[in-house]
Structures are given as C-alpha cells and as structure tokens.
Amino acid sequence: MVLGLLGALGAAVCYGVASVLQALAARRTDTVEGLDPRLMLRLAKSWQYVLGLGLDGFAFLLSIAALRTLPLFAVQSIVASFLAITAVLGAIVLKMPLRRLDKIGVAVVILGLVLVGMSAAEDVAVAVPRAVSWGVLISAVVLAAAAFPLARLSGAAGAATLGAVAGLGFGVVAVAARILPSPMTVSGLLTHPATYGLLVGGAVALLTYSTALQRGSVTLATAPLVVLETVAPAAVGLLLLGDAPRPGWGWVAAFGFVLAVAGALSLARHGEVTVSETSMTARASNA
C-alpha cells in the first residue's frame, strides 16, 4: 500500500509539471475550429508538449500501479493534487507568486491527502462483472460522440465544457485501469473491453483538454476536469468495484477527499498561462 501511495504522489508530480508544459504549448499553437484531431499533430511539433505528453504517460503508469493496491477514491484525490504542484512550479519557474490564499490552498491539499492516505485500506480484489467492462467501453464511445458537437462552443463556455468532457475521459481511463485483468497479459488485454475503453477515453481526454486550453483560461478548463476526473471514478469505485476506506474511517476519508478536491480547485488559477507570458517564453527560447 505504501508503494501505491508513492505511485499516486509521483503521478501527481508528473501531471503537475506536464500541465504547465502543455498549457504553454497549446497557447503557442494556432487555434482550431471544433474538435480537430490535427491539433495533436501541430502540438507534436512543440518540445514542451511532447515532453508533457511523455510525463503524462509515465504518470499514467504510476497511477495504474497505485490502482492495483489502493481504491479509486484515494488515488484520484491524490492525483487531483497536481494543481498544488502546478502552483508551486508556477511560483518558481513562471514567476507567478503564491498569494496567502494560494498558500492556504496548498496546505489544505496536503491536509486532505494526509487524511485520505490515513483512511485508505489496501485494495481487495473483487470479481468485476463483464457488463462493467463493456459499460466502460460504451461510456468512452458515447463521450467521443458527444465531444464533437460540444466542441462547437466557443469562448469560456467551450473551455469549461471541453474541460468537463476531458475530466470524464480521464475518469474513464482511471476506471478502465482499475478493472484491467490481473496479471496483465497481451492476450488478456487484447480481449478485454476496458482496454479499448481506456484508449478511446484517453484520446478524447487529451484532444478535448488541449482544445479547451485554446478556448479560455486554464482555470476554466482545469476546474471541471479536476472535479469530474476525481468524483466520477470515486463514485464508480464505491458503488460497483467494492472500494471502501478502513473500517470506522469513512468520515475521515470523505472529509479528506473534499479537502483535497476543494484545495486543488482553489489553486486552479495557477495553471494560468497568459499570452504575454507565452510570448516572453517564446522570445527567450529564440534568444
């Protein structure tokens, strides 16, 4: 279980660094109309985005390892703390000083994570009905179909809506990773519906979040993402997958979960990368 906690914390660190890099890259790339998969090809020309994507991949592997020993509510609340990492990095790297309220937000996140870690029980393997695996795949496909018309929204509404879609996409990825067959074999993965749900959900999440970063502030894109990628998988884990805190620690887990998410949301502003900051970075890199 200790390794699971370390894996989740490592994933949060990687996601925090990646979010800064990807926000810089998205703001320096020509905006797109609707949901255009070619955006990913243009972003691939940016070393910041490629590095951020690599960190996302490593974070994903760490989160899978964490999900093998910890319940979803614990892993997702810890991963949501990546905004605290972003806030600290923003203060150091992007010269975005932490206000008093931001420092309080970081402290709240840390307190929430401590409570969640203390209340988390080691994950117990349960038999997951095949219907749940198919439900994950169907949910991913429905989300992909809904993303295209929703991507027609522009401005703040588009940023918030696509951020929410991305959050659900990452939530699908988390649930899919939780129910992948164990031990993982090539044949087992290729015949498991959750594998394809993970791939579709991940693709939708990456594309919609990158597009959302171009539509409005990182705050608008990231706040709904954090809420939905944390709350939705946690609910699925508790209702369908047998997740539970330590006996008698339910209220501690709930309180820590709320603190971690609320603190992370209060720090969403520190994902903000303005056009002027991006231009300064571009000039510095060309100097």
pLDDT digits (tens, 9 = 90+) for 245-262: 878 888 888 888 888 778
Residue 128's domain comprises 2-286
pLDDT for 96-154, tens place per residue?
667 787 788 778 877 887 787 777 666 555 667 888 899 999 999 999 999 999 988 88
Q: What is the mean pLDDT of residues 188-198?
A: 90
The pLDDT value recorded for residue 51 is 92
More confident residue, 233 or 275: 233
Percent share of the chain, pLDDT over 90: 17
- pTM confidence score: 0.75
Query: How high is the pLDDT of residue 282?
Result: 42
* Tally of CB atoms within 10 A around 22: 28
Q: Is the pLDDT of residue 176 over 80?
A: yes
Q: How many domains does the chain have?
A: 1
